[in-house]
Structure 1
Amino acid sequence: MSIFEPKVVLNLLKNSAAVSPIDKSAFEKSWTVNVEKRVSIWKESRNHKTHPRPEFQLRWEAEVVEYVQCLWEKSRPRSKKIEPTHKLGLNIPLLGPRFVPPSYIHIQKRSGLGHQDIEPVTQYIKPFNVIHPFYYPQLATCPRCGSDKETTWEGWTSTGPRELHGLICEETALGAQLRCNTCKESTKMKKATDKNIPGDAEDVQAHQPANLEGYCFATTSAAYWSSWEHWQIPRNIPIFFYRCALTRDLFDLLVEMRPSTTSAGLEERVRLFQIQPTCNANSRLTDYFSGSKSAVKTLQAFSSASDPLAYADKSISGEIITEVFLDFCACTRQKESGEYLKTLSAICGSLDNTFKAASKATLTDKDRQKSRELKGGILSVLNEDNQIISWRFCQMRTNAEITELLQGLKHRHDILNVPQPKMMVADNCCQVRNAVTSAMPETDSKLDVWHFSARYIAVMLQSSKSPYRGAVAADITGAILKTHAEKGQPARYGDRAEQERRLMVAFSKWADKGVWSAAAQKVHQEQLKHVRRGCLERSVQGIRADGSRIEGSHKGWNSLQRAQPSGVTMLAALGHDFVLRRNVRVAFSRPELTPFLKFANGSHHLRLCDYIARLHNTLQQKTTDSQLQLLPELGDIDSGETFGLVMSDHVATFGGLLIKEENIEKGLLDSFDSSVDSTTGEEVDLAFLASRNVIINEWQIDPALLTLPAETSRPMKPSAPKRKAVCISLDSDDEGDASGGTIKKLRTLALPSTEVPSMAPGTGRLDAYFPSVQDHQRCSTRKLPPEFSQDRPVVASTAITPDQGDCQVIPGATTEDCSSAGISNAITPSAGISNAITPSTGVTSDHPVIPGATAEDRPVVASTAITPNQEDCQVIPGATTEDCPVLGSTGINNSMAIAAGQTRSQRLFSISTGIDPHSLTFQNSDEFYLFMEMRAEFKWLSYQMTSKRWVLATEEYNRRLIKKKGQSVVQKNPQALLRALGDIEPKLMSKITKNDYTSRKNRRARQKGPENSPLNHKKGYCADGVKQSSKAAGEELPPWPQPRGIFSEGRTFHPHVFLSTVQRVYEHVFMQGPGETDLLETEAFSKLLISRTEVHESDNMVLFRLFKGFVTDPTTPRDRIVSRNGEEWLRINYLQQ
């Protein structure tokens, strides 16, 4: 930083050895002329016309430029082959590259004129940064071709200085222009084109010099610095972007502070930080004015901070902060985070997903509508040293994505020449065992003790308030561990036989004391299965293998954008930053440091440290007599892994189909306390949250059992499970509601192994809405039809043998219930149905067919008609599961091509995953209606669909969509249809079971189509034209739905249509019979007619009282309207006869 006083510097140069005595006058005149010329050129530039700047700022900057140009002319080399022949003398001032304007004290001490020169303008001048080869000779390298042989400097940037955002105040910067003759002569260059703003998908791919065009670059342009990482830029040079530039101090602050706050919050902090310097500037004006002893003159007012021609202070915006951080992560942080991850390995890994943070990774379309496409959460793996060694966003909840991640980890271990991990610990060990062994055959899948104990805590009576909570947790954990972790020594685990014996003793002990709920027995039996399989054993003792540390890491993931909305672009960038900072912090806190981390001294700028080490080692090797040791370098491991938002072959090719724990990082014994949710402030039972998914969803335990005491004090051997089915019936036990309807009750029937329930088709019963079901008995049973054999597409399973042809798949049934081998093709909980083969023994579905029913109680029926002939349920007529073509040959859009009109987050998602976001959702009503029509035509049911059938269905859907909309339409991915069907079925079944087809407020079916569809509910009035609310006091609105045309737009009553409806209804009901008339409209109209009609026998008139809140159609003849008692009535002549 140098204080630049133009007159002082000019006198020093004029009297120095750089100017001969006879040229002093000419030198000063030339200086003045050049300054005036440069100011006039800047004023005529386009930038100045669009964003005018004060003349005193331009003039002071022109003085600085003339000074630097003078030094450059006196000292620059005349040839690149020789050293500069001219050296600056000792009497020549060497200032820069950052120039600060003089203050009041300089003016006072130089002139002694007191108040005459104490003006606010002195405080308005901004600091000035010069990016010129005089200060930075290393900049003479072409950013496009990298050559420094054929480059020349072509003067200053003609458009004038750029504005800089600073930490204390705003600043400016001016650069020189570099011309590359090699680039000019090698190709025919077009006009230089800017790349997209930082954070776009192109930035994620490269920042490559080859993307540049042109041969002349300004050192203040973003194009010049596009191939430089931020740590490579010389320290005093600001950071330049396409939309803005900022000083290095502010850039460093944003990089360090942005992960712990939001862009808007950081914007406010920077703004408040800059308010104080503004106040200080105003204070200095009054202080120097009051302290001067010269003749007093008028005190001038200090300008407002936002005046562009005065103080002109404008702090950085939150939008710019976002772009700065995204550019930093794309250029530097993502690379160094991945490079460090590839140097890590594991003996025992911990594997888990967290969904809270991943739910913030939304995609935003051009209409600012947000969608969540990353439904699989954030999958991360920790090693025994508590470092994250791999992580990724998962698009689906399938084991295939786990296998893909572990395959990369296995390849890394092979390159590092270290053994494969001995164990992989997870909270769902048996579900991920196939995924682990398929990628790492030598690795065992284990269950972590924290979740194991938490499942027992969750089935205690009043577990959150029980005084025995800690003691139970200690006994359960003690049954698994030989010794607890203490004094830096890891816990040691017993063998499976010992664990089983001690666990049964602990369970019996607390059963005698009555602490268990009715659900505890089944949970205990499921946990014993894990013990007997050896899931709680540890093949390697003496290392941290409990697996609970990954639960603590979830707190860090959930802290990203805490309580704030986000997008996939920002969350991915924050994820890379979080992983690197956490790993470096955890590793640096350990006594055994790697040589490289010890050299980095805990810094997370690893690429900078690695560059220093490599440069030092290169220079040291060139020096033969150097006694210095080589510095440790960051290893370059080419494992081919990518982290964060990655492409999944399984998802991209639709090889499979398409939940969360809150956690703490304390010890196992004291980790079952309550916590406070950071967003709601409510108390959260961590143990119950950790086990609720497994206990309720996976093990099919009724949540009501958790509040009931156990029937016996001793553990009982569980009886063989029975199949269950649900039917809805009307009998004497059904309860009536206030409207005279009937509330249907759920009934659970225990069925023999060869029988399946049927739904009663009567009015109000479930299958009244499925006319293809022809069984008229109420809750009767029947033998299995031949349609449910292995040849039918009910459940596609490679595990069903010819002997299983008559084995019916019933929700809630287990393998023990079937006369032959079990069914291994389990339907996993997801938005759709997974076709992955898992070790689960049951067949479950997460579609809530009946509200309040458990997973065991869910019936086979879904939202569409089920015919006895299952061929009606084929996706494509005549197609079988073997007929599914290869994905590449189908009409499914799986291309990485970036569609026009995509937003930044959509483009990032397209490039990173290879899937167009538009192919995952329906974009308009035409696409939605086509899906609904095909769903009805082909009778698509979720539990019958397999991955191959989804591909066939999507191919047919895309064919029809192209035929209807043209080739320009975005073809759909099978996930779009799968998700749509998974969304619509629960809604339809809920309506059917509740007999509810109207909106809560208006008793009208609301959303018939997608958003903004013309068929959706109108604001202010319903489809029959009646307004939603009446402003007339005491006046009731007509019941819904009225025949069309009587009311319109919520404000007009049409008597002619009303009288015609009176005649039509009367003739149909009393003369011809109901026939095919709309019963709902007829009933509603009759109620309206009866409630507002009076018969006056004195003059033989039937009158209908008109509404005060509606305007009568002006075309109505006046003789039809009668006024009586201050009210208007409509004559109904037809009823007078």
Structure 2
Amino acid sequence: MATSVFEPENVLALAKLSQGGSKESLERFEKKWRTNVEQRRKGWMDNRSSQSHCMQQLEWEAHGVEYVSWAYNSVKANAPLKADIPLLGPRFQPPTYLHMQRRDSRKSATPGIAYLKTITIVHPLYYPELTQCPRCDAKGSDVAWNGWVATGHREVHGLEREETALGYQLRCARCQKEVKAQQASSKNGEGTYCFATTNHSFWERREHWEIPAGIPFFTKRCAVTRELFNLIIEFRISMTSAGLAEHIHQLHLLRYHRERLCYLSTYRAQLEHDRQSVFPSMKTPLQRFSKPGDIGGYADISITDDMIRCSERRARAKTVDTARKHEKQWGGGILSALNERGQTLGWQFCQTQSNAEIEEFLRGLKRRFGLLEVPDPEIAVSDNCCHVRKAIINVFPDAHVCLDVWHTLMRYSQCILGGSGNSSRTDICNDIVDAILKARADKYNTAVYWPREEQKRRLDAAFQKWAARGMWNALAAKV
């Protein structure tokens, strides 16, 4: 993905040079450019009352939109882009204090430069393959691009700092006819026949590896950059979600303090330069750097350094069962699948551990096996085979479902007379395990099991051995 530092005044100057013509035509071109930027910025401000509305950010983004529209019109008829027209994007980085000093050394540093956030523009200029309806896969004359998103950019969670993304709208004539026939409606047709490239409905039918490189991952409630998404996938099992969020929080705070230090260092360097120069800069007073969550300033709104507390209420809602006892709202947990080498194949957080949730997880594994051309598993070992057996058989009908060694041992150990106080408990447990395993697993080798018939014979012999000594309680006969 191409990343470009976007300097609006520099790009406008290059655009004027590429236009050519008389002085009056160039002045009209510049006036139209600036008028479009101002109108777009005001329109975004009116539609962003509760979102980040940093004036400099919106104005900088409006210049980026004007550049993309101008460059797109230059190649709309499949014409090649002229050599004197710079191809920037789709990821635009804001200019830094270094760019400001090199362009105009007399210009005083202000915090506003540090407030600007990177923007990714998802537009057919960079991704022509997106000209396809995400709902019915229509192409050609049935689909048409229909302008920019009127509400402005969408916030994107980043690894070190928040970013933004701006989308273009695609309208499908075929879906529009179906919606009218069904008398279905939604605001502006969004999600029915008009799709924004920054909306989750545009991407919900695509797998994450099918999304073109450089485009953030958009969901219904949030969006994340590629870097943050890959980090979450890499560390999702090795730490808790709260721990991972805290690490990201610290990275954001580090970036915030680094930007503030950069502003102070630049301002101090300008003061030192003024003392030694006969041409002082257009100095403005030192300004206060905004807080991280100020929506009119730095606007790192997904990261907070405040403690959030729940307000106390006199009445509390509880979930109760038929006996009016408090019922657990979460009856599930993490369902994971491992291969015979102990490697994790997948995991899913289940809210209830119902068979429907388990089957959904297993069907994902079955699809993966099919894509990799790997045969379905012959044996499925579970820690609770009575509960998950039906779900496994529904997805893998030829698999043999059995209980793992540890939980098999626990079933027998619960039937030992005297429980943990029995002096022969360790010997009994060893006999049960030895009846199942021929060799136990170690650091370098996997476990070796006795054949099925041999396991039955050895388990029966171990049971009878300790039954003759009176070591089993009344529940042992049911095991």
Distance 2:13 2:302 in 1: 37
Is residue 371 from structure 1 mapped to residue 318 from structure 2 by the alignment?
no
Q: Contact 1:166–1:250 at 8 Å: present in 2 too? A: yes
Aligned residues of 1:432 and 1:445 also touching (Cα < 8 A) = no
Which consecutive unaligned segments of at least 5 residues does structure 1 have? 78-83, 196-211, 318-365, 508-518, 527-694, 701-839, 842-1137
Q: TM-score, normalization: structure 2?
A: 0.70
Q: Does the Cα contact within 8 Å between 2:120 and 2:164 map onto a contact in 1?
A: yes
Of structures 1 and 2, the one scoring higher in RCO (CA 8 A, sep 6+) is 2
How many angstroms apart in 2 are the aligned matches of 1:441 and 1:142? 39
2:227 aligned with 1:249, yes or no?
yes
- 8 Å CA contact retained: 1:485, 1:491: no
Given that residues 99 and 127 in structure 1 are in contact (C-alpha distance below 8 angstroms), is that contact kept between their aligned partners in structure 2?
yes
* Deviations 1:329-357, CA, capped at 9 Å, x for gaps: xxxxxxxxxxxxxxxxxxxxxxxxxxxxx
Q: Where do 1:150-549 residues align within 5 Å?
A: 150-188=142-180, 190-192=184-186, 214-292=192-270, 293-294=273-274, 295=280, 297=283, 298-315=285-302, 367=317, 369=319, 371-372=327-328, 448=405, 451-452=408-409, 455=412, 459=416, 488=445, 490-492=448-450, 495=454, 499=458, 503=462, 521-523=469-471
Deviation at 1:279, TM superposition (A): 0.1
Deviation at 1:443, TM superposition (A): 7.2
2:292–2:300 CA contact under 8 A, matched in 1: yes
Query: Could you tell me how far 1:179 is from its partner in structure 2?
Result: 2.0
Question: How far, CA to CA, are the matches of 2:298 and 2:331 in structure 1?
Answer: 50
Match of 2:105 among 88, 101, 112: 112
Deviation at 1:108, TM superposition (A): 0.8
**What residue number does 2:124 align with?**
133
Larger-gyration structure (1/2): 1
Distance 1:316 1:483 in 2: 52
Shift of residue 225, structure 1, vs aligned partner = 2.6
| 1:371 alignment partner, SS class | coil
Q: 1:476 to 1:154 in 2, by over 3 A?
A: closer
CA distance in 2, matches of 1:282, 1:97: 27
C-alpha deviations, 1:801-852, integer Å up to 9, x for none?
A: xxxxxxxxxxxxxxxxxxxxxxxxxxxxxxxxxxxxxxx59xxxxxxxxxxx
The answer to whether the 8 A contact 1:127-1:172 is kept is yes
The answer to whether the 8 Å contact 1:373/1:395 transfers is no
Question: How big is the shift at 1:219?
Answer: 1.9
Task: Please name the residue that 1:62 is paired with.
Answer: 62
Q: 1:87 aligns with which of 41, 64, 80?
A: 80
For residues 455 and 225 of structure 2, the distance between their equivalents in structure 1, rounded to whole angstroms, comes to 62
1:480 deviates by 7.1
CA distance in 2, matches of 1:443, 1:240: 40
SS in 2 for 1:521: coil
Q: Deviations over 1:206-247 (max 9, x none)?
A: xxxxxx864322222233333333332222222333443332
Corresponding residue SS for 2:67: helix
TM-score, normalization: structure 1? 0.32
Q: Which amino acid aligns with 1:315?
A: S
**Equivalent residues of 1:157, 1:175 under 8 A apart:** yes
Taking the aligned partners of 1:21 and 1:281, their CA distance within structure 2 comes to: 43
1:275 Cα offset (Å): 0.3
Q: Please give the secondary structure, in 2, of the residue aligned with 1:217.
A: strand
Change (3 A) 1:262 1:299: same
Q: Does the CA contact (< 8 Å) of 1:377 and 1:395 recur in 2?
A: no
Give deviations 1:646-676, integer Å, cap 9, x for gaps: xxxxxxxxxxxxxxxxxxxxxxxxxxxxxxx
Count of aligned residue pairs for this structure pair: 425
CA distance in 2, matches of 1:185, 1:504: 72
Q: Distance in 2 between matches of 1:445 and 1:285?
A: 64
For the structure 1 residues 214 and 520, does the alpha-carbon distance in structure 2 shift closer, same or farther, using more than 3 Å as the test?
Answer: same
Distance 1:417 1:50 in 2: 51
Distance between the aligned counterparts of 2:52 and 2:404, measured in 1? Answer: 67
How has the CA–CA distance of structure 1 residues 463 and 21 changed in structure 2, closer, same or farther, with 3 Å as cutoff? same
Residues 427/37 of structure 1: CA separation in 2 closer, same or farther (3 Å cut): closer
Residue 175 of structure 1 aligns to a residue in which SS? Answer: strand
> 1:15 pairs with 14, 17, 20, which one?
17
- Three-state SS of the structure 2 residue aligned to 1:30 is helix
State whether residues 413 and 419 of structure 2, in contact with CA within 8 Å, keep that contact through their aligned partners in structure 1: no
Q: Following TM superposition, by how much is the alpha carbon of 1:505 offset from its aligned partner in structure 2, in angstroms?
A: 11
Write out per-residue CA displacement over residues 172-200 of structure 1, whole angstroms, 9 at most, x where no aligned residue: 222222222233345525432699xxxxx
2:327 partner SS:
strand
Q: CA RMSD in A?
A: 5.1
**Separation (CA, whole Å) in 1 of partners of 2:252 and 2:100:** 25
Q: Deviations over 1:21-41 (max 9, x none)?
A: 554333222222222222233
Cα distance change of structure 1 residues 124 and 374 upon mapping to structure 2, 3 Å threshold: closer
Residues 49, 432 of structure 1: alpha-carbon distance in 2 compared, 3 angstrom cutoff: closer
Alignment-derived partner of residue 40 in structure 1: 42
Distance 1:502 1:448 in 2: 17
Q: Deviations over 1:532-574 (max 9, x none)?
A: xxxxxxxxxxxxxxxxxxxxxxxxxxxxxxxxxxxxxxxxxxx
